[in-house]
Amino acid sequence: MTSLDLYTVAGALIFALGLHAVLVRGHLFWKVLAINVMGTGIFLVLLAAPARSTPGVADPVPQAMVLTGIVVAVAATALALGVALRVTARTGAPFLPDPDDDREGGG
Amino acid sequence: MTPFELWTSVAVFGPLLAAVLALSGRPRILRIALATGSASALAAALGLWGAVTHEGPGRHLLGGWGQPLGIELWVDGFATAMLLVTAVVGSAISLYSLSYFGDLSELSVRESPAGRGARYFAPLWLLLWSALNGIYLSADLFNLYVMLEILGLAAAAIVTLAVTTQATVAGMRYLIVSLVGSLFFLLGVALLYVEYGVLSLEALAAAEPAGPAAAIALVSMTVGMAMKTALFPFHAWLPPAHAGAPAPGSALLSALVVKGSFFILVRLWFAVYGGGTEGGLFVLGLLGAGAILWGSLLALRQTSLKRLIAYSTVAQLGYLFVMFPLLLGGSGEVNADAWSGGMLLLLSHALAKAAMFLAAGNMSYAVAEDSLPAISGIAHRLPVSFFAFGLGGLSLAGLPPSAGFLGKWLLLRSAIESGAWGWVVVIAGGGLLTLGYVILVLRYALDRKDAPDDYRPVPRRMEGAAILLALVAVVLGVRGVEVVALLQQGAVFPW
């Protein structure tokens, strides 16, 4: 296993851990944190990507992607936390109420 | 400066600059921003239509920098058709929003919920418009990701502009699904970069991605886009979010936003992966068939008007996925039929669904309620909105001479000629179910004895926007040939 494979597998694992937490954790703050963890997993894969080209030569493209990714993540986190606060203010708890899903006809 | 360079810049930066302008929040400036944003998007779409028709597909290297460090824009017939329909629907929605959010001169009530909607709808919507145009013009995976995130953030924010608790919760859920979907996409991008070291769609297609890493990347990106497009069974977030948003928001979410991620799916599967595998296309078609049945059945059971229309979106999106297996089903001509048919359905759904949501917005604006019984007899009070809803509904159900009819007919013909009888049943059966829930609404609206005497008059501008879109959906059916010709321009497909 090359070190590139190692980083890729580790990144995918972190992504999966984050996804798991988004699905099972009810608290909205946990969900937002978990989404950030998922992103970190992807950044790990990207930062290791230059290893595929000639050793010793830095590939700037993945670094540019991670930088942009961080900017996007900050914006998304800010909006998500803002909406989460409003959900808390409206419903009294930082949780999503049970989805009024398909089985219930009305709205 | 070539026409491609000029108009692709206008398409992306026109609405973006207008969004910045709209942040000022002054009523007069909001109006100017909406007008210039719409005008620049319309002009760009028309300009590109001319350029693509005469010169074929074109590109624009932003600032003269090409791949891999620069950003490249690329426009073909498919992208132009999407830009055009977005410009038409978007302009009507902008017009509608001018009246919907009340008298804009009363904006001084900054803290009131209605004031918030009026203040922030225009900048968010213009930002969203810029992101949509950016998606249609992007030529590389990472740019697609960035545009996708801007689209998702702006769309979720628009849902939360509505004042109800339900809408706030729906917006939160939508935001989470949208962010997770984008990350699935980004994971696929990262895996492809590790494997091939390129981001441009063109270079990736030339590398002919195959093997386990490329397959995992495709699955990951498809799951992400399916979540954002609300493909069955990832659709649960859509009805509350689309029904909860303010009326112009519902229209643009249902008609335009879900098409952005669908567009990326088509580009990925056919332009980059050369059709992928038959098994994968079949699974997507099967999920589409599930969406048609499940979405239509649930639409029939709704008691709220906007929810019914939102479930209808789930069902109609299913048709677009039924197109996937048919694209590789038979000979070249049969596949081309499926492509034209599916795309006509996409364009007519955008027009018809926006018309229906705007008309429904007018009806609930008049009676201040959104339930089906509340709109009893509304046809006798708002004949124009009723007519717009009816025309849109008939186009969805696929009755001639609408574009929906032409699209469904082409799709059916391609399914029959490639002997795929299962898909024939799904396409035809879905049309009957659609007719069912459209008639359900029409019956309530026509009920003469319950016609409300006490209702709020609807501004003429709001009725005009709805009927305009419904009429364009019909005209598109009559002028289908031009649209099909445009869609064939530079389509990178296996046949």
Who contacts B66 (Cβ-Cβ below 8 Å, separation ≥6)? B72
- The residue extents of the domains of chain A are 3-91
In this predicted structure, the answer to whether residue A105 has a pLDDT above a threshold of 70 is no
Per DSSP (E only), the strands in B176-259 are: none
B253 and B377 fall within a common domain = no
B439 and B361 fall within a common domain = yes
B79 and B130 fall within a common domain = yes
In this predicted structure, the answer to whether residue B90 has a pLDDT above a threshold of 90 is yes
B3 and B133 fall within a common domain = yes
Q: Which residues of B touch A76 (CB under 8 A)?
A: 149, 153, 179
Q: What is the pLDDT of residue B492?
A: 56
Of B276, B300, B316, the one marking the end of a domain is B276
**Which of B248, B258, B374, B246 is CA-nearest to residue B319?**
B258
In this predicted structure, the answer to whether residue B131 has a pLDDT above a threshold of 60 is yes
Which residues from B are below 8 Å from A when comparing CB atoms?
68-69, 142, 146, 149, 153, 156-157, 160, 165-166, 168-169, 171-173, 175-176, 179-180, 183, 186-187, 189-191, 193-194, 197, 199, 236, 239-240, 243, 294, 298, 301-304, 306-307, 370
Rounded to the nearest angstrom, the gap between the alpha carbon of residue A26 and the centroid of all alpha carbons in its chain is 16
CB-CB under 8 Å, B190 with A46? yes
B439 and B411 fall within a common domain = yes
B176 and B291 fall within a common domain = no
B301 and B254 fall within a common domain = no
Q: What is the pLDDT of residue A107?
A: 35
Mean pLDDT along residues B149-161: 95
The total of other beta-carbon atoms located within 10 Å of residue B61's CB is 14
**Cis link prior to B248 (omega < 30° from 0)?**
no
B319 and B457 fall within a common domain = yes
Q: Which residues of A touch B66 (CB under 8 A)?
A: none
Q: What is the pLDDT of residue B457?
A: 86
Give percent of chain B above pLDDT 90. Answer: 65
Q: How confident is the model at residue A49 (pLDDT cuts 50, 70, 90)?
A: confident
CB-CB under 8 Å, A102 with B298? yes
Out of 1.10.287.3510, 2.30.110.10, 1.10.1530.10, 1.10.10.60, select the CATH number for domain A3-91.
1.10.287.3510
Q: Which residue has the tokens 């990144």?
A: A11
Token pair for B315: 């069902």
Q: What is the pLDDT of residues B13-27, one digit of tens each?
A: 999 999 999 998 888
ipTM, interface predicted TM-score of the complex: 0.93
Mean pLDDT along residues B393-402: 89
Q: What is the pLDDT of residues A63-79, one digit of tens each?
A: 899 999 999 999 999 99
Mean pLDDT over the full length of chain B: 90
Q: What is the pLDDT of residue B495?
A: 42
Q: How confident is the model at residue A54 (pLDDT cuts 50, 70, 90)?
A: low
CB-CB under 8 Å, B190 with A11? yes
B75 and B92 fall within a common domain = yes
CB-CB under 8 Å, A84 with B303? no
Q: What is the pLDDT of residue A102?
A: 47
Per DSSP (E only), the strands in B114-209 are: none
Q: What is the pLDDT of residues B244-273, one digit of tens each?
A: 999 999 999 999 999 999 999 999 998 899
Q: Which domain holds residue B9?
A: 1-137
B39, amino acid identity: A
Mean pLDDT along residues B305-324: 95
Q: What are the DSSP calls for chain A, one per residue?
A: --HHHHHHHHHHHHHHHHHHHHHH--BHHHHHHHHHHHHHHHHHHHHHGGGGSSTT---HHHHHHHHHHHHHHHHHHHHHHHHHHHHHHHHSSSBPPPP--TT----
Contacts 24+ apart (CB under 8 A), B38-42: B38/B87, B38/B90, B38/B91, B38/B94, B38/B95, B39/B14, B40/B10, B40/B11, B40/B14, B40/B15, B41/B11, B41/B14, B41/B15, B41/B83, B41/B86, B41/B87, B41/B90, B41/B91, B41/B129, B41/B133, B42/B87, B42/B88, B42/B91
**Which of A84, A78, A70, A89 is CA-nearest to residue B174?**
A84
Who contacts A10 (Cβ-Cβ below 8 Å, separation ≥6)? A41, A44
In this predicted structure, the answer to whether residue A7 has a pLDDT above a threshold of 80 is yes
In this predicted structure, the answer to whether residue B124 has a pLDDT above a threshold of 80 is yes
Mean pLDDT along residues B216-231: 96
pLDDT higher for B79 or B448?
Answer: B79
Of B100, B121, B137, the one marking the end of a domain is B137
Of B228, B244, B276, the one marking the end of a domain is B276
Question: A95: which strand partners?
Answer: A27
Q: How confident is the model at residue B64 (pLDDT cuts 50, 70, 90)?
A: confident
Q: What is the pLDDT of residue B478?
A: 86
Q: What is the pLDDT of residue B114?
A: 64
CB-CB under 8 Å, B302 with A106? yes
Give percent of chain A above pLDDT 70. Answer: 87
Q: What is the pLDDT of residue B150?
A: 97
B193 and B119 fall within a common domain = no
Q: Which residues of B touch A101 (CB under 8 A)?
A: 236
In this predicted structure, the answer to whether residue A106 has a pLDDT above a threshold of 60 is no
Q: What is the pLDDT of residues B2-16, one digit of tens each?
A: 899 999 999 999 999
Instruction: Name the residue among A15, A53, A105 with its Cβ closest to that of B303.
Output: A105
Mean pLDDT along residues B331-355: 90
Chain B residue with Cα closest to A11? B187
Per DSSP (E only), the strands in B322-415 are: none
B60 and B15 fall within a common domain = yes
CB-CB under 8 Å, B179 with A76? yes
Mean pLDDT along residues B109-125: 75
B125 and B163 fall within a common domain = no
Q: What is the pLDDT of residues A12-47, one digit of tens each?
A: 999 999 999 999 999 999 999 999 999 999 999 998
In this predicted structure, the answer to whether residue B385 has a pLDDT above a threshold of 80 is yes
Minimal CA separation from A56 to chain B, in Å: 16
B71/B68 Cα distance (integer angstroms):
8
